[in-house]
Structure 1
Amino acid sequence: MSPRTFAALLAAILLLAGPARAQLTIEIIGGGANQIPIAVLPFAGESMLPQSITEIIEQDLSRSGRFRAIFVGGVNTPPTEIAQVDFPEWKSRLADAMVIGQAQRLPDGKLEVRFRLLDVIKQSQIGGIAFTLTAAQTRLTAHKIADFIYEKMTGERGVFSTRIAYIVKQGPRYELRVADADGQNAQSILISSEPIMSPAWAPDGTRMAYVSFQNKKPILFVQSLSASKQPAPVANYRGSNSAPAWSPDGKQLAAVLTKDGTSQIYLMSPDGGNLRRLTVSQAIDTEPFFTPDGQSIYFTSDRGGSPQIYRMPASGGEPVRMTFEGDYNVSPRVSPDGKILAYISRVNGRFQLMAMDLESKQIQTLTDGLRDESPSFAPNGRIILYATDIDDRGVLAAVSSDGRFRQRLGIQAADVREPSWGPFLGN
């Protein structure tokens, strides 16, 4: 494949971005192994809340693929204390764990939600927390409770209270949106009649880098998400400015510039200063991504004659080729623990998501779509979000990093592309 063809194909993929006012919806299309059977009982007093907090918790846990919801019908009076729980009843329903709780209004008008996570087999409490909240914080509180349950039962941090970003397109309009990990509470960060692409979260979750064509050419911006500030252009050189990627400490941005000819990878400060060229070749070098320790950068290059994935020191040095199976491997993303390389490979004319164990170099095919693209790991590394085509429309989908569980997210009447999963809250 020639550099010109490669560049055109990458541009075509990136430009299929997309907006809509409808919320993302979840469709479970696969199952996970060794699911934990859990009963989430209705919380006493939750009718005062604007949303069913137990329904959100149950949906979160089921969506993870690690839990199986137990039917809780027939409960007349929801228990609020462990002494009120009929453990033999829930054991007969084959529940290993259960959640009970209550909501009440405080004298100052705020709400309090308390919950307990119980071990049905041992008839004991695993843990519990009380939250003080406003009505508008109901969904976030439910996500935090689900995070607590997930971590206690699996030993890994939950990602239900994290956020995702994505590009949507509807008609002539493009939007950069941020939503909860379940697709709800979507907010527009940027609306434009020109293409937007490549959203990338800063490691602390307070800023977003992206590329906009608002001046009829690709310009790299950084937008603060915590203040109503205008986005700052950080790379507006001659030619293309694209594919931003943050270093793990948030002190550097890698980006692809064509100011000196072909697409090459540069490093810069988040304000655009201290520009330094990293790759030096006559090939197309693009799609940089830092390893979690910040010591290396993975990227896509056609320097060997076809698009393949390479790794090089973040300080500069000789690149090492990482992919050898197939003649088209792009979009490298490394898991948060640094053990898995996710990427897109063309297999028999289909673009599919692959996972490489970086120690054994074994490769697993995770998806079977026709055109899967833009993988992004959840901050706990358990799930990979990606874009795909369903009925000639871009949608977001997710697959567990072991390939055992899949889900699909879609927006009505919109084309959705380029997902980016944000960091843990507070990180």
Structure 2
Amino acid sequence: MLQRVFRQLAFLLLLASSVAQADMTIEVVGVGSQQYPIAILPFQNEQLDRQSVTPVIGSDLNTSGVFKVLNFNDPSLRAYTPSTLNYSALQSGGAQYAVIGQLLNDGGQILVKFWLIDVASKQELIAFEKRGSPNQLRRISHQIADMIYAKITGNPGAFASRIAYVLKNGKSYQLQVADADGYGAQTVLKSRMPIMSPKWSPDGGKLAYVSFELEKPVVYVHELATGKRWTAANFKGSNSAPAWSPDGRQLAVVLTKDGGSQIFLVNVDGTNPRRISQGGEINTEPTFTADGRSILFTSDRGGSPQIYRSSVNGGNAERLTFSGAYNASAKVSPDGKYMTYITRDNGYRVAVMDLNTRRSNTLTSSTMDDSPSFAPNSAMILYETDIGRRGTLAIVSSDGKVKQRLKSPNGEVRQPAWGPMLR
């Protein structure tokens, strides 16, 4: 009986032979060891716009688990410039930081101005303004939350990014894209046949994925802005598990055209396939390192599923995981320092390894986790899990302290991928 790491491959082959939109909500279930108390006062004029700004900023910071958003609902405390803030009232209410701002009509666009204030010192930590159309206010709100997060924690935020995932509702499969908070879900592809393994291009403009619409697993690349798509791997047998190179010019894919399951590099247009893996019957789940020089993958060559690293030019592979009989589904953090993966530890759980020290830590306590994916700031990991026998998405911080669940009202949600930051 195959180990769980090869269930996806077995599923692909089985299906190949047998077949010859609402927003998610975030539930915070764990918080950081330190929370920063912050007051976010309603911006001037925001009640006149269709999209309020401060609720989005507050939700982003609150669900991060490292901020405690305080409620200051007294209208007499409202202020729209630093000079009008009631600092003593904010301090009495426990606020360490305050966010204030304005929305101003600017020739059909909205001028968003905001300040981040250190309440005790009355110092302006951020003074910023940006113009945008009304339908860009939500993205601007995420960008403001990122700026606040970065200024206070010293680490980049990731709220202005997107996630992709597969929604299964009855016999329908949908490849969807949404904001990092699950809002604004849009369907990229809908099919009666399975869709699997979405992966973001480095520029965030394209998705590679596997579709069964041709009655076999085929890898496609889909351009989100235009809807244009093309075949990137449709060779004899199974084509699966795409992964983008950091420069966006190549894909690593898993092909069975030469027998067994082997890793190949192909150009994004599907040309020039080059085999990378040597040895083992099953080599799967490739992912590039941040510098683009190596590929991590799962292989059975040692007798059980383990994670290996190989040069993009091929050659001998180095084994990275040794603890336990099952380690799979590796992804490297964008900063290149860590690897997240699934380990069998009283269930299938998300783990993280420091690639410098090779020390590992299991982050989750659930038992059916899969498909981990780093946020673009390397601080959070998105993954799928089962709750009540239903596939759902969850997020855990790389230290395991902050935990979130993304609940979808529409069906089972699986195969997540966290995209790069939106510019």
Please indicate the TM-score interval, normalised by the length of the shorter structure.
over 0.9
Alpha-carbon distance in 1 for matches of 2:275, 2:54:
52
Contact kept? 1:57, 1:146, Cα under 8 Å: yes
% identical aligned pairs: 49
What are the residue-to-residue correspondences of 1:174-189 with 2, within 5 Å?
A: 174-189=173-188
Alpha-carbon RMSD across the aligned residues, in angstroms, is 1.8
Q: CA deviation at 1:258?
A: 0.2
Deviation per residue, 1:8-48 (Å, 9 max, x gap): 465459999xxxx2211100111111121111011121111
Contact kept? 1:15, 1:195, Cα under 8 Å: no
Alpha-carbon distance in 1 for matches of 2:184, 2:413:
16
Report whether the alignment pairs 1:395 with 2:395: no
Contact kept? 2:382, 2:396, Cα under 8 Å: yes
Unaligned runs of 5+ in 2: 16-20
Contact kept? 1:102, 1:115, Cα under 8 Å: yes
Deviation per residue, 1:175-215 (Å, 9 max, x gap): 10000000001111101110000001110111110000001
> Which residue does 1:323 correspond to in 2?
321
Contact kept? 1:15, 1:197, Cα under 8 Å: no
Report whether the alignment pairs 1:234 with 2:247: no
- Structure 1 window deviating more from structure 2 (319-328 vs 66-75): it is 66-75
Report whether the alignment pairs 1:371 with 2:368: yes
| TM-score, normalised relative to structure 2 | 0.95
Q: CA deviation at 1:95?
A: 1.4
Q: 1:247 aligns with which of 245, 248, 255?
A: 245
Question: SS where residue 98 of structure 2 aligns?
Answer: strand
What are the residue-to-residue correspondences of 1:28-427 with 2, within 5 Å?
A: 28-76=28-76, 78-106=78-106, 108-229=107-228, 231-348=229-346, 350-426=347-423
Question: SS where residue 319 of structure 1 aligns?
Answer: strand
Query: For residues 417 and 325 of structure 1, do their structure 2 counterparts lie closer, same or farther at Cα, with a shift above 3 Å needed?
Result: same
Alpha-carbon distance in 2 for matches of 1:294, 1:414:
36
Alpha-carbon distance in 1 for matches of 2:14, 2:236:
20
Q: CA deviation at 1:391?
A: 0.8
Query: For residues 198 and 337 of structure 1, do their structure 2 counterparts lie closer, same or farther at Cα, with a shift above 3 Å needed?
Result: same
Moved over 3 A (4+): 5-16
Query: For residues 320 and 54 of structure 1, do their structure 2 counterparts lie closer, same or farther at Cα, with a shift above 3 Å needed?
Result: same
Alpha-carbon distance in 2 for matches of 1:137, 1:7:
42
Deviation per residue, 1:243-302 (Å, 9 max, x gap): 000111112110000000100000011111121000122420000010101111110001
Alpha-carbon distance in 2 for matches of 1:9, 1:265:
15
- Partner AA of 1:374 in structure 2: S
Alpha-carbon distance in 2 for matches of 1:380, 1:178:
19
Aligned residues: 418
